[in-house]
Amino acid sequence: MALYAIGDLHLCLGAPKPMDIFGGAWVGYMDKLKEGLSVIRPEDTTILLGDLSWALDLQSAQADFAWINEIPGQKILLKGNHDYWWSTAAKFEKFCKENEFENLHLLNNNCYSYGDYAICGTRGWFFEEERSGQHDEKVFKRELIRLEASLKAAGEKPKLVFLHYPPRYKGYECPEILALLKQYEVRRCFYGHLHGGSHKLAMEGLWDNVEYRLVSADYIGFRPYTVIF
How high is the pLDDT of residue 56? 93
Q: What is the C-alpha to C-alpha distance for residues 202 and 89, in angstroms, rounded to an integer?
A: 31
How high is the pLDDT of residue 228? 96
Rounded to 5 degrees, what are φ and ψ at 63?
A: -65, -35
Q: Each residue of 46-55: pLDDT tens digit?
A: 999 999 999 9
Q: Which stretches of the chain drop beneath a pLDDT of 50?
A: none
* Percent of residues, the chain, with pLDDT higher than 90: 82
How high is the pLDDT of residue 220? 97
Domain count along the chain: 1
| Domain coverage including residue 92 | 3-228
How high is the pLDDT of residue 137? 81
Please report, for residues 45, 78, 111, 182, the alpha-carbon distance to residue 114 in angstroms, rounded to integers and kept in the order given: 9, 16, 10, 21
pTM over 0.85: yes
In SS3 terms, the chain reads as: CCEEEEECCCECCCCCCCHHHHCHHHCCHHHHHHHHHHHCCCCCEEEEECCCECCCCCCCCHHHHHHHHCCCCEEEEECCCCCCCCCCHHHHHHHHHHCCCCCEEECCCCCEEECCEEEEEECCCCCCCCCCCHHHHHHHHHHHHHHHHHHHHCCCCCEEEEECCCCEECCEECHHHHHHHHHCCCCEEEECCCCHHHHHHCCCEEECCEEEEECECCCCCCCCEEEEC
How high is the pLDDT of residue 130? 53
How high is the pLDDT of residue 31? 94
Residue 68 sits in a domain whose CATH number is: 3.60.21.10
- Of 40, 33, 5, give the one whose Cα is nearest residue 19: 33
